[in-house]
Structures are given as structure tokens and as C-alpha cells.
Amino acid sequence: MKPPVRIAITGGAGQIAYSLIFRIASGEMLGPDQPVILHLLEVPAALKALKGVLLELEDCGYPLLQNVVMTDDTNLTFIDVDYALLVGAAPRGPDMERSDLLKVNGEIFKVQGKALNEFASRDVKVLVVGNPANTNAYIAISAAPDLNPKQFTAMMRLDHHRAIAQLAAKTGAEITAVKNIIIWGNHSATQYPDISHATVNGQPAKSLVDQDWIVNEFIPTVQQRGTEVIKARGKSSAASAAFAALSLMRDWAMGTEQWVSTAIVSDGSYGIAKDLVYSFPVTIKNGEMSIVQDLEIDEFSRSCLQASQRELEQERDTIADLLH
């Protein structure tokens, strides 16, 4: 048996975690031969509910689950962790502006970034799921100067899966026939789902659908899918978000030659301002993500990329005073 790896999950009593924790414990993230120790963080008021999750985990008797640490102490959560999935975040209250939400969550991610910096494994891989995910990741990175910014990513994988599903349905193709979909930018309504380089069964996607469908159906459907789920379910996406988080972490650990979309610190590729946490198409090898380079960007795409960059710059300006 391999030695166990430690995986932190914040917001352990929340709805995404309820889907995520059990799948990780069953081996879906790191494979059927990798034992795991889970570190679950919650706010004090939710520890009782988290205890219920722990009882259910025990009742599953997962062979790979070696231990569970359950706590409301951020520092304790991140001691020696190899992976951290930062899912917990404060929800948007009824009278809250988006800028208020940015600040409330900014404080949380600053504390967590500091704790990761001090206590996590030096090779920790951190996925930020809690919203506003890109800017939360930006804050956590700023608070963790001893870690490499490349050890952080913010989740765009759900948007990536949504885009693949829409294109597959439109063209009547299998999901696996769709390749090279890209989501650029922020995990918000300014994200740009891009099929310019996508193929379906090896054929250019753009030759199979018309521009009107792309602009007036495909893009808004993917951008607004989270809202559509909330309207139907009365709650935000949870199982699909958990699956997306698992998929990204598995690819990060095992590698993938397929293009996947994830938000990472910009190195200036495609003219995107350096240091913003922006979603790019990447491939992953030996735990390192590389932005797919030299893609042609037409005028329409360029304006979409820039609109999402502008929003991220505004978010960065809103939380500027948290960085000191």
C-alpha cells in the first residue's frame, strides 16, 4: 500500500462537500490504491452537522480512508496537507453588494492562504472553489509568499463541462467526441466559453453550428447555467461542482494531454495582465500546468477575453486593501 496523502476540504458540512468527501474517500480522486486522510474544516456553528458527515463516513467503511481530522481551526486543517480544496465561503446575503461579498470572503481566503503558507506540505496543490473563486485564489496566493503561485488554481472546470455538454447535445455527438473547448476569464457571467478551436469527432466545431447559435444560445446558456440550476433546484450546483473539482484534481495529480480550462496566475499569455487569476486552456504533465500557446484569437474572442479581464481587475481593486 502507498503511504496516505492528506487532503483538506473546507466547508465540510456544505452541500458541495457532501458530494465531494464521499467520492474522495472512495478513491475517485486519486485512484483505488491511494489511501487518504481527510482534514475537514467548518465554522463552529456547523461542527455539529460536520459530525453527522463523519458518522456517515464511518458507516461507509471505505478501505482507503485512514483517518479524518474534523476541526474549526484553520491552522490545524492545513498541517502537512498535500491537497487543499477550498470550498467553504460565506454566501451572499440579501442586502449584500458583490463588493461586500468580495471583502467578506477575501478575509477568509487571506487567513487560509497564510495557514497554507505556514503549515501545508511544500508541494501542496490548492483548488479554490468558493466564490468569487478567481479573486479568492488571488488573495490566498498573495497571503502565501513561500508557496509558488502555480500551486493554486480556481475552479472553471464546471463551466468547461457545461460547455462540452451543450456542444455535444447540439451536434448530437458523444461527450468524448468534443475536444478543445475553452473557458476564458472569470468564473462569473463574463466568462467566455469559446468553441473557436474545438472539434467534434475531429471536425471543426464552427463548421457544424452557426454563429447565431454560438452568440445567442451557447455562450449565454453556459454563462447563466448556474443561475438556471438555482432557479430549478432552489439551491446552487452541488453534485456537478463536486464532480468538476474531482476531475480537475485528478488531472492535476495524474496529468492530461486534453485541454482543460482552469484559472491560474496569468504569465501574460494572450495579453492577459500578469498575476490575475484567469482561466486559460491548459495541459498538465508531472503536476505542472502549461497554458496552450499560439492560438489564433479573432476580434470577437479578443473583446470577450478583455471584458472578463476588466471585471477581474475591478475585483482586484475592490480587495486591494486586504493584501497588506
For the CB of residue 74, give the shortest distance to ligand NAX in the complex, in Å. 7
Q: Is 11 in the site for ligand NAX (CB under 6 A)?
A: yes
Among 39, 160, 187, 225, binds ligand NAX (CB under 6 A): 187
Please list the alpha-helical segments (H only) found in the chain: 15-25, 47-60, 74-77, 98-119, 133-142, 157-171, 211-213, 219-223, 225-233, 239-254, 299-318
46 binds ligand NAX (CB under 6 A): yes
Q: Which residues contact 167 (CB under 8 A, 6 or more apart)?
A: 173, 178, 181, 195, 198, 200, 205, 209, 218
For residue 208, what is its C-alpha cell? 457544424
Find the part of the chain contacting ligand NAX (CB under 6 A) among 82-90, 94-102, 203-211, 277-285: 82-90
Question: According to the binding rule CB under 6 A, does residue 318 interact with ligand NAX?
Answer: no
SS3 label, residue 225: helix
Q: Verify binding: residue 155, ligand NAX, rule CB under 6 A.
A: yes
Please tell me the number of Cα atoms within 13 Å of 42 on its side-chain side: 21
Distance between CA atoms of residues 34 and 262, nearest Å: 24
Among residues 182, 204, 179, the alpha carbon closest in space to that of 270 is found at: 182
The residues carrying an active-site annotation are 187
88 near ligand NAX, judged by CB under 6 A: yes
Q: Report the residue from 5, 8, 13, 84 that binds ligand NAX according to the rule CB under 6 A.
A: 13
CB of 234 to ligand NAX, least distance (A): 12
Q: With binding defined as CB under 6 A, does residue 113 bind ligand NAX?
A: no
* Cβ atoms 106, 319 nearer than 8 A: yes
- The reply on whether position 14 binds ligand NAX by CB under 6 A is yes
- 90 lies in the binding site for ligand NAX (CB under 6 A): yes
Interaction of residue 131 with ligand NAX, rule CB under 6 A: yes
Residues engaged in binding ligand NAX (CB under 6 A): 10-11, 13-17, 41-43, 46, 87-91, 108, 129-131, 133, 155, 158, 187, 226, 236-238, 241
